[in-house]
Amino acid sequence: MTRRLAMGALAAILLLAAATAPVSAATVEVKIANFTFSPQQLTVKAGTTVTWTNADDIPHTVTSTTLAFRSKPLDTDDKFSFTFTTPGTYKYFCSLHPHMTGSIVVEAATGSNAPR
């Protein structure tokens, strides 16, 4: 069936695009669940606001290793937002559970997706 084959190829292309394209939306969500930041690693354009939401029923924090940003302890469904304006790699962790780590890679907003 050629139609089924085409659908499979399309799905593969979409998956590939989702996995490799930097997120260019103005706001991106990171979920905190089961002691894990998800996605654990995120690539965004400069100017993007990242919002963390705690989906666990115990508190977590979002703490930059360089203290570029630092949340208060987040209770269930609490949110913390930070706008990344400077390109670079920002590692962070939960100060209550330091084995919880994540990173945000900020790219210069000069690519083809950059707002004009």
* Chain residues that interact with Cu ion, rule: CB under 5 A: 60, 94, 96-97
Least distance in angstroms from the C-beta of 31 to Cu ion: 13
What's 72's DSSP letter? P
Q: Give the CA diameter of the chain.
A: 56
Least distance in angstroms from the C-beta of 41 to Cu ion: 18
Using CA atoms, how far apart are residues 100 and 53, in angstroms rounded to an integer?
14
Cβ distance to Cu ion smaller for residue 31 or 97? 97
Cβ distance to Cu ion smaller for residue 70 or 97? 97
Q: In terms of Cα–Cα distance, which of 10, 22, 99 is closest to 63? A: 99
What's 63's DSSP letter? E
Least distance in angstroms from the C-beta of 54 to Cu ion: 8
Least distance in angstroms from the C-beta of 94 to Cu ion: 3
Cα 13 to Cα 10, 16, 42, 70: the distances in Å are 5, 5, 20, 37
Using CA atoms, how far apart are residues 52 and 110, in angstroms rounded to an integer?
25
Cβ distance to Cu ion smaller for residue 96 or 109? 96
Cβ distance to Cu ion smaller for residue 47 or 59? 59
